[in-house]
Each structure stands twice: as structure tokens, then as C-alpha cells.
């Protein structure tokens, strides 16, 4: 299933309107709406991560300072802004409280693929529990993000 991104006036992550993300598609389209269109006033990604990942980060943040440490933004695989084209989000598998999804796109001339393992949490709805990405020859994982928060 492909997901179309549209700008919305929905409440930002962290609002008290029940589970933040009702489906895997809702989670990832909200994430990439923020990343690609900057339509929500958030500079970090914690609202999108599972409790397990948040605990791994140990109260650190995942935002511009950490991405500077990494040398790139892990949601797009780029160190600098670039034109994103041919964007596609797909939920590959969903079984109960887990799902696998993938974002594929081109950043300039570079093909980017980001695989997500998702979990459904009672309070927050769907959340990112793991990710692995590649942009051309560059590869990264959740462990890289956790390490960046420890520096």
C-alpha cells in the first residue's frame, strides 16, 4: 500500500487527542510531512520513537545537534538539503502490534531507502522501534542514532 502525503492542520505530536498515530501510514506520513515540508514546529523525532528506543536514548534528544554529529539527517540520509523526488511510503507487512514499512525516494541523484520496524503502543499508537537506511553507498541504523545521543 502506498501512502500519499498531504499537508494538514492536525494536532502536532504530543497532543492529548488519544493515540498519536492510529496506523503505520499515519505515523510515517506525519514523520515525513514534518521532515519534507516542515509543517510542524518540531525539531526532534522522539514523538515518533517507541518507548524502547526512547529508553535507549536515555533522555537524550534526536535533533539537529545529533544529526550534525552523525553528519546527516537519518530520516532522509542527507547532510544538506536536497530536492526529494519520487517519494513513496509503503507498509510491507502488518501483524497485530507490529509492522514493517519502507520509505523510498531520490535525494538529488541519490537513491534512498529507509526500512522501519514499527510497534503499536497502547498510549502513543504506532511508533518506530527500529530503522535501517541507505543513501547510495552510505548505510546507517538505529544503533548509529543511539550512539550519537551518547556523545
CATH code of the domain covering residue 95? 3.10.450
pLDDT of residue 19: 63
pLDDT of residue 20: 83
Per residue in 4-30, pLDDT (tens digit) is 343 333 444 444 455 689 999 999 998
For residues 8 and 46, is the Cβ–Cβ distance under 8 A?
no
pLDDT of residue 72: 77
Q: Is residue 3 part of a domain?
A: no
Per residue in 89-122, pLDDT (tens digit) is 999 999 999 999 999 999 888 899 999 999 999 9
Per residue in 123-144, pLDDT (tens digit) is 889 999 999 999 989 899 988 7
SS3 sequence of the chain = CEECCCCCCCCCCCCCCCCCECCHHHHHHHHHHHHHHCCCCCCCCHHHECHHHHHHHCCCCCCHHHHHHHCCECCCCECCCCCEEEEEEEEEEEECCEEEEEEEEEECCEEEEEEEEEEEECCCEEEEEEEEEEECCEEEEHHHHHHHHCC
Q: Is residue 46 part of a domain?
A: yes
- Checking if the pLDDT of 145 tops 80, the result is no
**Considering only CA atoms, which of 3, 5, 11, 75 is closest in space to residue 37?**
5
Q: Is residue 136 part of a domain?
A: yes
Of 37-41, 47-51, 134-138, 140-144, where does mean pLDDT reach its minimum?
Answer: 37-41
Q: Is residue 9 part of a domain?
A: no
Q: Is residue 111 part of a domain?
A: yes
pLDDT of residue 1: 43
Q: How far apart are CA 134 and CA 2, in angstroms?
A: 20
Domain with 116 in it = 18-149
Q: Is residue 13 part of a domain?
A: no
Q: Is residue 135 part of a domain?
A: yes
Indicate the number of domains in the chain: 1
Q: How far apart are CA 145 and CA 128, in angstroms?
A: 13
* pTM of the predicted structure, to 2 decimals: 0.80
Q: Is residue 84 part of a domain?
A: yes
Amino acid at each position: 500500500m502506498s501512502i500519499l502525503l498531504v499537508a494538514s492542520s492536525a494536532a502536532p505530536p504530543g497532543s492529548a487527542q488519544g493515540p498519536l498515530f492510529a496506523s503505520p501510514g499515519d505515523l510515517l506520513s506525519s514523520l515525513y510531512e514534518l521532515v519534507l515540508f516542515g509543517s510542524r514546529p518540531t525539531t526532534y523525532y522522539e514523538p515518533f520513537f517507541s518507548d524502547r528506543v526512547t529508553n535507549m536514548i536515555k533522555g537524550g534528544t534526536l535533533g539537529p545537534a545529533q544529526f550534525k554529529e552523525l553528519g546527516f539527517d537519518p530520516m532522509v540520509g542527507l547532510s544538506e538539503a536536497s530536492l526529494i523526488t519520487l517519494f513513496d511510503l509503503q507498509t510491507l507487512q502488518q501483524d497485530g502490534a507490529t509492522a514493517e514499512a519502507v520509505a523510498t525516494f531520490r535525494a538529488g541523484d541519490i537513491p534512498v531507502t529507509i526500512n522501519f520496524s514499527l510497534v503499536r503502543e497502547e498510549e502513543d499508537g504506532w511508533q518506530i522501534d527500529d530503522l535501517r537506511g541507505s543513501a547510495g553507498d552510505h548505510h546507517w541504523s538505529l544503533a548509529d542514532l543511539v550512539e550519537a545521543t551518547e556523545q
